[in-house]
Structure 1
Amino acid sequence: MRLISATEVNLVETKERKDEKEKSKWLSWVVFAVMMAAVIFTFRYVIGITVISGNSMSQTIESNDVILSSHLLYQPERNDIIIFRDEHGYDVIKRIIALPNETIEISDGVVFVDGQPFEESYVSGISNDMEKTVVEEDAYFVMGDNRTPGESLDSRSADVGTIARERIKGEALLSLIPFRLF
């Protein structure tokens, strides 16, 4: 039977501590990578932060406001302020006015949805008239809150048209800077 010396015991303990330290270091990196993936996933698919450029949503949202939006399991509804991707890849913010299969028209500056005047207390400016239009299936008619002609490029323009459901990223929840709820 061989006796183990104190030096050999110290060497074994030192090697075990080094192994533990190495495992701890790797575990720290794994935890860091998982946390970063969670942050990236959250900001890509759950919430978004957008800095507004332009006055198309003026008085509700102003240029340079910082907006927090929700992208998870969002179901579009009338009056929601949404963020969608335009055909050039830019994020755009507008308000849903008409839903799929509804009829919309503007007469004397008043918006009519399915023949009924649409109550809008948030609007600034007066919109030009627009002939009756039926919103396509799985699409939404959106407008900026600033209805002064030339201030908002939205569904009233043939260049934009209605917004297909798959282009909608999510709903604007609140303004972070300056802080206010919508």
Structure 2
Amino acid sequence: MAKKKNEWFDWLKALLIAFGLAFIVRMFFFAPIVVDGPSMLPTLHNRDQMIVNKFVYRLHEPERFDVVVFHASEEKDFIKRVIGLPGEHVEVSDNNLYIDGDLVEEPFLSEQKKDMKSYQILTSDFTLEELPGNHEVIPEGHVLVLGDNRGNSTDSRMLGVIPVDELVGRTSIIYWPFQRIQTLGE
């Protein structure tokens, strides 16, 4: 009888340790997220399920073109792409991205740009000064984010620059649906 009781206790202890470890990993390291809406098309589709790396920005700063999840409000997280970094001036003119006056290629938009007619607009022209906060350069501790579906995205053009403290983490792995399993490249 005592042996059976010890066996149950060992199982209970193992389950509690497993749940505790899963809780710690979920809270501090990795978390699932479901893409909600078309703002990152064609890169991400509505209902794609992804893993968010929550500790990556504790080790280093965000990099240009990282796909990030951030707290847009207390109730809602958004997923967008980092375009501008602290200290930079960002401008879009004639569907081209300029950082500090230099043209920057956006490889993740190349298919969209290739399929466009000459009169179509992928990204409406803007300068950093025209965005909420009318900054001349992106302040320290902030990034500028845009959705890949520039015509249908609530991003820094409406929200202003995003504090790095509001970034939940970087995401680069789609794990569901099965036919879309992939890691994101540039």
Residue in 2 that maps onto 1:115: 101
Mapped pair 1:126 → 2:115: no
- Bigger radius of gyration: 1
Identity %: 27
Mapped pair 1:180 → 2:157: no
Residue in 2 that maps onto 1:64: 47
Map residues 25-44 of structure 1 onto 2, 5 A cutoff: 25-44=8-27
TM-score (norm 1): 0.82
Corresponding residue SS for 2:98: strand
Question: Does the 8 Å contact 2:56/2:170 carry over to 1?
Answer: no
> Counterparts of 2:47 and 2:54 in 1: how far apart (Å)?
21
Corresponding residue SS for 2:157: coil
> Counterparts of 1:20 and 1:103 in 2: how far apart (Å)?
70
Residue in 1 that maps onto 2:157: 156
> Counterparts of 1:97 and 1:143 in 2: how far apart (Å)?
7
> Counterparts of 1:110 and 1:99 in 2: how far apart (Å)?
17
Q: Which runs of 5+ in 2 are unaligned?
A: 113-120, 130-136
Mapped pair 1:141 → 2:144: yes
Give the deviation of 1:105 after TM superposition. Answer: 1.2
TM-score (norm 2): 0.80
Corresponding residue SS for 1:83: strand
The higher relative CO (CA closer than 8 Å, separation ≥ 6) is in: 2
Map residues 12-91 of structure 1 onto 2, 5 A cutoff: 18-74=1-57, 75=60, 76-91=62-77
Q: 1:59 to 1:43 in 2, by over 3 A?
A: same
Q: What count of residue pairs does the alignment treat as equivalent?
A: 161
User: Deviation digits for residues 23-73 of structure 1, max 9, x if unmatched?
Assistant: 332222121111001112112221121111111110111111111221123
> Counterparts of 2:98 and 2:23 in 1: how far apart (Å)?
42
> Counterparts of 1:101 and 1:89 in 2: how far apart (Å)?
30
Residue in 2 that maps onto 1:11: none
> Counterparts of 2:3 and 2:172 in 1: how far apart (Å)?
47
118-127 or 103-112, which deviates more: 118-127
